[in-house]
Amino acid sequence: MATEVILTGTGIPHPTPGRAGAGTMVRSGDVVLQFDAGRGTVLRMAEAGVRPHDLAALFLTHVHSDHVVDVADVAMTRWLEDQLALCGPLPIVTATGTTEPFLATLFDSFSEDIALRIAHVQERGPEIAISTFAPSANPQPVWSSVDGTVSVSMVAVHHEPVDAVAYRVDTPDAAVVISGDTRVCDEVAEISSGAAVRVHEACRTTAMAPMIAGTFFEKVFDYHADTVALGQMAQAAGVPHLVLTHLIPSPTTPAEVEAFADDVRTGGYSGRVSVGSDLSRVVIDDQFDAEA
Ligand SMILES: [Zn+2]
Ligand SMILES: [Zn+2]
């Protein structure tokens, strides 16, 4: 057995070639979980060898558009594939609150298309099976696989004014944490206890502070994770492998990529750091060596 962590998108709202919107996939045996579905998610999933009908569940961290713009694509592609592989409604796990009205109207703008497809070939419309939980400052279990081998827990994080959560996946091999969008916070440190890999959003706030002072970006950067503070927190939490994603600003050169790693080193982190690119993959098995 092995657990794979695959980044389906490392981008942000401003488009950068080669970087799809936010998303991380965790695969353990036949259990495939997707966390967020930003721009281009279905395509990246296919490139990773996974189709929407393979998903055991889709988890949402929050409803900023860069994390949910392709939720309808995941659900409707699964629906269209239903003729090839019967799989039923797409299970979506999310916090109560702002995600509920978003999901309640998910298919509304496609009503004509759905009606025409039902009249033509589809037996019914696309379906999602929503499972909600109350966000909590203390980690809480929110999901487990039918065979009981994989479980997911969540904790509320700090992306104010937007409600957001981080997730932790426990598999027979290891635990993986997915931060979603958040400032560096104790809650993510707590839910990372004993985890092998932490996929964390990253924002070069310290390095860019002089450039963004007094601008709109100062407010935006304030609710993201400063890479220097992240390095400090990851070192204190003892996370062996830190995978950076949701890279602000999107790096386009090797030097710009390296700068993210340098920042977390400046923060004092001595573990393994990977600056994510789309389809970056971490395999956790009995050969896993966080220092490699
Ligand atoms: Zn966000
Ligand atoms: Zn975001």
Q: Tens digits of per-residue pLDDT, 52-104?
A: 999 999 999 999 999 999 999 999 999 998 777 778 899 999 999 989 999 99
Catalytic residue among 36, 54, 66, 181: 66
Band the pLDDT of 290: cuts 50, 70, 90.
low
DSSP letter at 109?
G
Closest ligand to C-alpha of residue 63 is: 1
Band the pLDDT of 286: cuts 50, 70, 90.
confident
What is the rounded average pLDDT of the residues 206-234? 90
CA of 22 to the centre of ligand 2 (A): 7
What is the rounded average pLDDT of the residues 268-283? 97
Q: What is the Cα–Cα distance from 250 to 240, expressed in whole angstroms?
A: 24
DSSP letter at 196?
S
Q: Tokens at residue 65, please?
A: 């558009």
**110 three-class SS:** helix
**What percentage of the chain reaches a pLDDT higher than 90?**
86
Please report, for residues 203, 265, 269, the alpha-carbon distance to residue 261 in angstroms, rounded to integers and kept in the order given. Answer: 11, 6, 9
- What is the helix (H) or strand (E) element at residue 31, kind and residue range? strand 31-35
Tell me the β-bridge partners of 154: 140, 167
Tell me the β-bridge partners of 275: 244
CA of 180 to the centre of ligand 1 (A): 8
pLDDT tens digits for 161-179? 999 999 999 999 999 999 9
Residue 219, pLDDT score: 86
Residue 66 annotated in active site: yes
Closest ligand to C-alpha of residue 64 is: 1
Tell me the β-bridge partners of 163: none
The interaxial angle of helices 227-237 and 254-266, nearest 10 deg, is 50
To the nearest 10°, report the CA torsion of 231, 233, 237, 240.
Answer: -10
The interaxial angle of helices 254-266 and 205-212, nearest 10 deg, is 110
CA of 6 to the centre of ligand 1 (A): 20
Residue 291, pLDDT score: 54
Spell out which residues have Cβ within 5 A of ligand 1, the ion: 64, 181
pTM summary value: 0.96
For the cut 60, the answer to whether the pLDDT of residue 292 exceeds it is no
What is the rounded average pLDDT of the residues 255-276? 97
